[in-house]
Amino acid sequence: MPDHGPGSSHLTGQPHVALFATCLIDVFRPSAGFAALALLEEAGCRVTVPASQTCCGQPAYSGGDYAAALPTAKQNIELLEPFDYVVMPSGSCAAMLCQHYPKLLKGTWRERALDLSQRCYELTDFLTEVVQLPPRAHTPEASNVAYHDGCAGLRELGIAEQPRSLLKTQNNIEVVELQTQGVCCGFGGSFCARMPEISARMSDDKLDDISASGAATVVAGDMGCLLAMSGRASKRGLDLEFRHVAELLVADSDTTNESGSRD
């Protein structure tokens, strides 16, 4: 959507939200970004997708290259701090802005990062803690949906009940709880590239659990997790569908193939 710029939320009575779409969604699953946008607007927000947003800096930061992460963090702070809220359909990117920008920066920049962090939210957390989606007519209950908790969202932000609650109240979906709930899928950012054999084994353990649960659809709030699991499932010939939680919440009927790309 066009970038209308920050400000003027006091004139409309709507919270002005910057949707930080994330790199992986932009490149691999734009439909998840559009779904997040639709959900925020449905909840009564005025949403802007800042055209000059870029990577949150997590790859460089996680790899220890703090010098490379610094200018990215400062650029994002300057871009996003005028908005009432910043919402991200990704637990890992949200954790970067909320938890790690204040650790990375010093002085005045750290103060600005701390201020911004108070207004940054992962999507499902924002839709349960700050704004509310209007009630919907329930669709028939689905019992074959498994939810995977991404590590950063779960451990750094406490994202666990929020997506499950939304799926239940909005879509009448009671998710299948996995035996490996809370266990990493094997993605881990650059970990999957540096240690591919271990990463593949971790993905296999997760996929074996999903298959044993009887779930046909796997839902998560982080695109990295979905890409890791869907790629491994495709290699193994498993008939599983992988969806971002935002797509399921808007009842997106457009399906994805096993590799996570659009058909």
Higher pLDDT: 244 or 188? It is: 244
What's the pLDDT at 8? Answer: 46
pLDDT of residue 197: 87
**Residue 135, Cβ density class (10 Å: 0-12 exposed, 13-18 middle, ≥19 buried):** exposed
pLDDT band (50, 70, 90) for residue 139:
low
- Find how far residue 257's CA is from the centre of its chain: 19
- Reported as a single tens digit per residue, the pLDDT across 180-218 is 999 998 777 777 667 778 888 989 999 999 999 999 999
Give residue 138's pLDDT.
66
pLDDT at 137 exceeding the cut of 90:
no
The domain defined by 9-129 carries CATH number 3.30.1040: no
10-19, 55-64, 78-87, 185-194: least confidently modelled range: 185-194
**Rounded to 10 degrees, what is the CA torsion of 184, 185, 189, 194?**
100
